[in-house]
Amino acid sequence: MIIDCHGHYTTAPRELDQFREKQLAHLHEASQPVPAPLNISDAQIRESIEKFQLKIQKERGTDLTIFSPRASGMAHHAGNVATSAEWARVCNDMIHRACAMFPKNFVGVCQLPQSPGVAPANCIEELTRCVEQLGFIGCNLNPDPSGGYWTDPPLTDRWWYPIYEKMCELEVPAMIHVSASCNPNFHTTGGHYIAADTTAFMQLLTSDLFKDFPTLKLIIPHGGGAVPFHWGRYRGIAQDMKRPPLKELLLNNVYFDTCVYHLPGIELLTKVIPADNILFASEMVGAVRGIDPETGNHFDDTKRYIDAASALTDADRRKIYEGNARKVYKRLNSHI
């Protein structure tokens, strides 16, 4: 079985974005109407999935996508805590409907109602609802709700502890995933995502977070940002700081996905990061949608790179494709 741990509902019917536009318009100008409750039919959802994610799963030979709302759409910097609460509920309910329609192919991960300057404890209610009532198996945690200005405390601050406590209690992991950047210095998918992955890892390296939460599991997407490419730098910095070796310090709790869109990148990832810490992912339909002229295949068809990666044994591939996902997303096992 091949589990893709990183898929967003980027193809949702346009009524979802229209709802968001109206929500923000009303927020900025009270005379604008409150958006009507979302009115999207099952047929619309079915079509939006069958034509894209489901079709691509079949073409590429993958089986199950761990599915969450569009990451750039979370935009926690927009509006306030009530805005984020409503928007998270609406988006998570859409994921729930899509997953319920295709239960063998999709399982849900939730967006959290984060807001800059608001303690993440406010996300516990929505996380609990999604896990206990909607059957979701994880969450996306945004390390920078400000959208590129990095004004909240780092992930290792006690500010975040209540949400980690709840995650551990519910046995769900988080993917550390920023949303859209509203800072012109950071292009969303080319700058902000990759920079955030990298700095999140470094935050973890300098802290004892996993002493406090030994069962907490965090996935750093996009292959861990720059981390595998600079694995020597991170090993060296940890050593200079008298920290334990990275394997001991972080690798019982931190995982990297395979959203790296060329074979040399996957070759590096699978050479330097233990196979036990890599989860298969493509982020389709996502940041890069075209065909690589050098290979004739889609950039984000990452299964081809994993199949070709010379450092991997068949046992490694089974871990990357399925075993590790079942270990990290523990609730997956009661689904499928």
Chain contacts with a second copy (rule: CB under 8 A): 143-144, 148-154, 157, 183-187, 189-192, 194-196, 198-199, 202-203, 205-206, 222-223, 225-226, 228-237, 239-240, 260-262, 264-265, 267-269, 271-272, 287-290, 292-294, 299-300
Q: Element (H or E) spanning 92, and its range?
A: helix 81-101
Report the relative pairing of strands 106-108 and 110-111 from DSSP bridges.
unpaired
CB-CB neighbours of 39 under 10 Å: 9
Rounded to whole angstroms, how far apart are CA atoms 310 and 173?
A: 29
Known catalytic residue at 283: yes
Taking the C-alpha atoms of residue 273 and residue 266, their distance in angstroms, rounded to an integer, is 10
At 145, which helix (H) or strand (E)?
Answer: none
Q: How far is the CB of 241 from a second copy (least distance, A)?
A: 9
Which CB atom, from 52 or from 231, has the smaller least distance to a second copy? 231
236 token code pair: 């060296």
CB of 17 vs a second copy, minimal distance in Å = 19
**In this complex, which beta carbon is closest to a second copy, that of residue 119 or of residue 268?**
268
**Angle 91-97-102 from CA coordinates, rounded to 5°:** 130
Is the Cβ of residue 74 or residue 195 nearer to a second copy in the bound state? 195
CB closer to a second copy out of 73 and 286: 286
Could you say which of 126, 283, 294, 322 is catalytic? 283
As measured in angstroms, the least distance from the Cβ of 19 to a second copy is: 26
| Residue 50 beta carbon to a second copy: minimum distance, rounded to whole angstroms | 23
The answer to whether 219 and 279 have CB atoms below 8 angstroms apart is yes
Hey, how many other C-beta atoms are within 10 angstroms of the C-beta on 168? 16
Annotated catalytic residues are: 283
